[in-house]
Amino acid sequence: MRSLLLALLASTSLMTPVFTTPAQAAEPADPVVAADTEARTPLAELGKDDPYRWMEEIEGTRAMDWARAQNAATLPKLQGDPRYAALEAQALAILNAKDRVPGVSFAGDGALRNFWQDADHVRGLWRRTTLESYRTVAPTWETILDIDALSKAENANWVFKGAQCLPPHDTRCLVTLSNGGKDAVTIREFDTATKAFVPGGFDLPEGKQNVTWLDQDTLLVAREWEPGQVTKSSYPYVVKSWKRGTPLASAKELYRGTPDDVSAGPYVVRDSDGAVQAVMAYRGVSFFESETYLLTDQGAAKLPFPLKSSIQGYVSGQLVLSLEQDWAEKGFKTGDLISFDLKALKADPAKAQAALVLRPTAKQSVEQVTTTHGKLIVGLLDNVTGVAHAYTHGAQGWTHQKFDLPANSTISLGSTSEKDERLFVSVTGYLAPTTYWLADAGSLKLEQVKASPARFDASTHVVEQFEATSTDGTKIPYFVVRPKAVKYDGQAPTLLYAYGGFQVSMTPAYSGVMGKLWLERGGTYVVANIRGGGEFGPAWHDAALKANRQKAYDDFYAVSQDLIDRKITSPRHLGIMGGSNGGLLMGVALTQRPELYNAVVVQVPLFDMIRYSQIGAGASWVGEYGDPAIPSERAVIAKYDPYSNLKAGQRYPEVFIETSTKDDRVHPAHARKAAARLEELGYPVLYYENIDGGHAASANLAETARRQALEYVYLSKKLMD
């Protein structure tokens, strides 16, 4: 659930940071009155005097007319710049390049599958090849499903959102299609053997839904079964079992959460042969808290897991969980990876004993967990540098071995094989194109099977790491990618990126477009590891939750000021960018410290924080920001809420605000209101609303190239000219 709601991110990290440990940094929250002692403010009262409430109707005539008028005013200003055409062409050439390395996933039928987009296949091809062919310079691909052809045949704006296939053979799949990129999707049964949708097969109409296979003739489905039967966050909370050949309305209820939850959904535990070992339901009490229920013929039995814990996988009879809170009675700590014997857990949940798999140090964080046929694979951040280990469960408990992958890089775990111990791993860095490795978790053998071509001249730049001291004394690491010949005279055009929320870590990644459109043209790129992220485990995130939200913003200003103090750049040449939660960060920086920046790119943002819980999926994020309906929590939010803190007579730079009409996660009204309010106060503002594209603001590569070219033209005008 958490991954569904997270945002469009960028990259960071390469060297060893110097910092205050998360345990020291996670100070107690400022005291607030307990929520259950306060009278909640009626939701209708929140923002009732807002003159731009009409912008919350996503595709209302008035709102769409306003958005089109804004586009008509903004696009000529940016696209008319003499640099625009070349930047867009360069971005599109990189995004559409035929020599891009296609990422692949193992399928149970022995094939490797891939989803591919380029200039000839704008919406994309779902296709397959063999491992032998994939190893070659020019693999032979067989198309499974052509999304461009499907869209044309159905006169639809389909965006492919993936396919969930039934193990062990993976030939029957649930293909997920989105209209223009929305989170609300349609789901259809597809046969990869015949390469066609199954006649009379499973077909779920559009909605925000969570669906999984139980067996070939049964789906477990969480969706809006009756009009309005969704949570306040707009997600389903009723789980049912749907049998093949029966009407959807006849599905049998298995579990029901409540409208006050974030969501509820099904979870099927399978062994590596595809056999079902347990059927579960999760209840998302809040964004970070959930309950897990074992579903049996006798009903739903709650499992004794901490609220802040997540199932990570099943291997060798062990159900693996990560902990985001201490479990004192069991002797476990925040950040631990633990396991239960599933048979013992099912037999008597109260008496089942957990075993420690891994306890990260203060400088480590568990980033990824996956499984092969018989191994548990763990991807760690160690001092914001990636490492990967293979864990084996035996009579002596858990043992592990380390993969000998390139150091000082981000290591991402890819698709795993359920038939043996193989998995794909990618390795990347700011200036190093991504390499793709086939790893064997049994032998630890590594084979580099692919390497991405360089998209820009990285020889002129260098990566460094520094630290800034935040308001409370916490050391905040940040990474600088700069020209080797830069003079420390405050003149370097510098783009600073950060996110700072939802325990999302900013780790280094190669971006051909950013490198070509910014670095190669003399720009400096900076990423800050501010609190709210997950770089140093759950405590680094918890340090900026709710009442402590200002700490993330203070961290960001500390990095900004440190860049200025080191004379890497100056306010005249310093620009900032962030999306979603990072877009909120941009809005706060604009209203709290506008004197630090000359350019602000606000991507698909949260902005109206007094009404955020009533817009889009906002109610699901109360665990991150607090509840505006509770007076004491609203008082904290109001101090940093960008929308209500916009004022006349300030030193705001001209901002560039972007959103997408089809974004049904972070509602476009946030961006619309921000722009309208700035204009009302007399400030110049650039605004672009992509009519398609969902939360990533791009439904295809051409739209992505246009958005990126617009951003870098804006940054060039503000920071380079």
Residue numbers annotated as active site: 580, 695
Pairwise CA distance, residues 175 & 186, whole Å: 8
Kindly report the CA angle at 695 between 559 and 91, in degrees rounded to 5? 75
Pairwise CA distance, residues 665 & 672, whole Å: 15
Is 20 in contact with 475 (CB distance < 8 Å)?
A: yes
Pairwise CA distance, residues 356 & 340, whole Å: 9
> What does the block give as tokens for 202?
């499973």
Q: How many beta carbons lie within 10 A of that of residue 433, not counting itself?
A: 18
> What does the block give as tokens for 603?
């991507």
Phi-psi domain of 31 (left: phi exceeds 0; alpha: psi -120 through 50; beta: other): beta
Instruction: Collapse the DSSP code of 350 into the 3-class scheme (helix H, G, I; strand E, B; otherwise coil) and give the result.
Output: coil
393 class by beta-carbon count within 10 Å (0-12 exposed, 13-18 middle, 19+ buried)? buried
Pairwise CA distance, residues 524 & 516, whole Å: 12
Chain centroid to CA 303: 28
Q: Which H/E stretch holds residue 189?
A: strand 185-191
320-357 burial string, b = 16+ CB within 10 Å, else e? bbbbbbbbeeeebbbbbbbbbbbeebbeebeebebeeb
Nearest-CA neighbor of 667 among 610, 606, 625?
606
Residues paired with residue 520 on neighbouring β-strands, in sequence order: none
Pairwise CA distance, residues 236 & 572, whole Å: 48
| Omega cis (within 30) before 168 | yes
Crossing angle for the helix pair 550-565 and 581-592, nearest 10 degrees? 70
* The residue type at 630: I
Nearest-CA neighbor of 653 among 569, 714, 606?
714
Nearest-CA neighbor of 147 among 690, 701, 660, 665?
701
Q: E strands of 622-677, at which residues?
A: 655-660
**HSE, side-chain direction, 13 A CA sphere, residue 343:** 4
* The residue type at 146: D
Is 542 in contact with 26 (CB distance < 8 Å)?
A: yes
Is 306 in contact with 323 (CB distance < 8 Å)?
A: yes
65 class by beta-carbon count within 10 Å (0-12 exposed, 13-18 middle, 19+ buried)? exposed
Pairwise CA distance, residues 17 & 505, whole Å: 14
Pairwise CA distance, residues 254 & 238, whole Å: 8
DSSP code of residue 594: G
Chain centroid to CA 306: 24
Instruction: Collapse the DSSP code of 69 into the 3-class scheme (helix H, G, I; strand E, B; otherwise coil) and give the result.
Output: helix
Residues paired with residue 302 on neighbouring β-strands, in sequence order: 293
Pairwise CA distance, residues 538 & 540, whole Å: 5
